Amino acid sequence: MPKLSAIFDLFDGLQSNHIRTHQNRCVTVRNRNATCRRCAEACTSNAISIKDNEIFFTPHRCIGCGTCATVCPTGALEPTEPNDTELLLSCLKAAKQADGEAVIACEQLLDAASGLFDPEKVVRVTCLGRIDESLLLALVVAGVSSISLVQSTCAECEHAVGMKTAELVVATTNTLLDVWDNPLRIGITNGLPDTLLIDDLGYDPSRRGFFLGIAGRAKTAASAILDDAVENALEQQEEAAPRYQKVLDDGTLPHFLPDRRERLLDRLAQLGDPKDEVLKTRLWGHVTIDLKTCNGCTMCATFCPTAALSKFLESETNERISLEHYSGDCVKCRCCEDICPTKALVLCEAVQAQDLSNGKVESFAMRASSRMKDNRHSILNSMQTLLGVDQITEC
């Protein structure tokens, strides 16, 4: 179990021009029994590390790549310079210059190829680990004709772990595009497309206007679509960070859905209805609860960061608590699974795609917890637990 003081020190150290931190969103801050260490596992420069179950931050090692924010399930880490909106705008503008082709490349490759390509047709990132599914799907919805992530010699790069994150993001996005029946696929390549390279015959940097002197209805239509996408991105407002509250009226910690996850669900809705298939990705999970093992403490809902698990009374006259679960709001942080005292809860990898789109909610009827001092069923629940039988009648 990590020291809480070390977690707070980590967030204080991470706050910079490259990363904005929201420590109240971190599942380890919300509950020290949570096992999430994804930021440290994915850090490309070892700026975030773990030793003897303590998390450490070495500021001078941070390269501002944003990979830690890509893997953070709850949005506790948010990339800046550029932020997500600015990066999307850059991608749309570059795609417009490249006749609808969106190309994102790591800076090492672009530095090595300096002077050989048109810089207005490609987007530079410190590491491809910065890219997430919500950005890629936003480009698909915007109408780009293709999306390519261009790597350098990543296998030899000291920040190679970022490429593993990029590969996972691309695989996840392609799975979503397949299930949502969209033909576009994202590729990872080892070199810039020929269309981005400078042609010695008549290339003029001053003539980089989109589609200048180019005829064709298809290209004109693509230009109009991307123009609209740029305008929509410009209209996006950065939401203020939610004000931290200790406990809500229902006894749970504050809930939030990361902006990236909201945007992702919105983009999927724009793509239409998915096939009736099961999804297995890094993004969502499906909760199952063994009601015979569950003690009804509802700690899973108390600490769930997104309210994917929420609790409610079945009626004003009935003290029995039920849980509701919506897979679409689950960010797969596994906090619920980590803190379940009886291990009655399991987070499954498989999620029905249609459940995400139709908002299907699953209910679990809890038995009143024997741990609740003010619960009039405490003695009954204690006897049920002691005897191992449910058929006991209150008089």
The pLDDT of residue 240 is 44
Here the tokens at position 83 are: 């932020």
pLDDT per residue as tens digits for the range 92-106? 999 999 999 999 999
The rounded distance, in Å, linking the Cα atoms of 220 and 285 is: 41
User: What DSSP designation does 174 have?
Assistant: H
- Counting every residue, how long is the chain? 395
Here the tokens at position 185 are: 């696929």
pLDDT of 392 over the 70 cut: no
306 vs 12, residue with greater confidence: 306
pLDDT of 232 over the 70 cut: no
Here the tokens at position 32 are: 């020290």
Question: Where are the chain's structural domains?
Answer: 4-79, 84-235, 273-387
Average pLDDT rounded to a whole number, residues 286-308: 92
213 vs 334, residue with greater confidence: 334
The pLDDT of residue 142 is 95
The pLDDT of residue 267 is 95
Inter-residue contact 260 to 130 (CB < 8 Å)? no
Please report which confidence band the pLDDT of residue 2 belongs to, taking 50, 70 and 90 as the band edges.
low
Instruction: State the average pLDDT for the chain.
Output: 81
The pLDDT of residue 249 is 58
Angle at 330 between CA 329 and CA 331, to 5 degrees: 110
Residue 316, CA distances (Å) to 251, 311, 319, 394 in order:
17, 14, 7, 20
Residue 25, CA distances (Å) to 36, 78, 132, 141, 245 in order:
12, 11, 19, 29, 11
- At 104 the three-state DSSP class reads strand
pLDDT per residue as tens digits for the range 96-141? 999 999 999 999 899 988 889 999 999 999 999 999 999 999 999 9
Please report which confidence band the pLDDT of residue 206 belongs to, taking 50, 70 and 90 as the band edges.
very low
Inter-residue contact 43 to 68 (CB < 8 Å)? yes
Please report which confidence band the pLDDT of residue 185 belongs to, taking 50, 70 and 90 as the band edges.
very high
Average pLDDT rounded to a whole number, residues 303-330: 82
Please count the other Cβ atoms lying within 10 Å of the Cβ belonging to residue 128: 27
Tokens 């772990």: give the residue.
161
Is the omega angle on the peptide bond into residue 82 within 30 degrees of 0, that is, cis?
yes
197 vs 272, residue with greater confidence: 272
pTM for this prediction: 0.81
Contacts of 324 (CB under 8 A, 6+ apart): 309, 310, 311, 312, 361, 362, 363, 364
Please report which confidence band the pLDDT of residue 325 belongs to, taking 50, 70 and 90 as the band edges.
very high
Here the tokens at position 78 are: 């948010």
Here the tokens at position 101 are: 């082709």
Tokens 């459940």: give the residue.
355
pLDDT per residue as tens digits for the range 22-33? 888 888 888 888
Average pLDDT rounded to a whole number, residues 178-190: 96
Average pLDDT rounded to a whole number, residues 137-153: 93
273-387, which class in CATH? alpha beta
The pLDDT of residue 75 is 93
pLDDT of 153 over the 60 cut: yes
293 vs 218, residue with greater confidence: 293
The pLDDT of residue 238 is 47
Question: What are residue 79's phi and psi, to 5 degrees?
Answer: -75, 145
User: CB-side exposure of 243: number of CA atoms within 13 Å?
Assistant: 1
The pLDDT of residue 350 is 94
Tell me which fold the domain 4-79 belongs to.
Alpha-Beta Plaits (3.30.70)
The pLDDT of residue 393 is 57
Q: Beta 146-150 vs 186-189: how paired, if at all?
A: parallel
Each as own residue / partner, the long-range contacts of residues 81-84 (CB below 8 Å, 24 or more positions apart, any chain) are 81/17, 81/18, 83/238, 84/132, 84/134, 84/135, 84/259, 84/260, 84/263
The pLDDT of residue 245 is 44
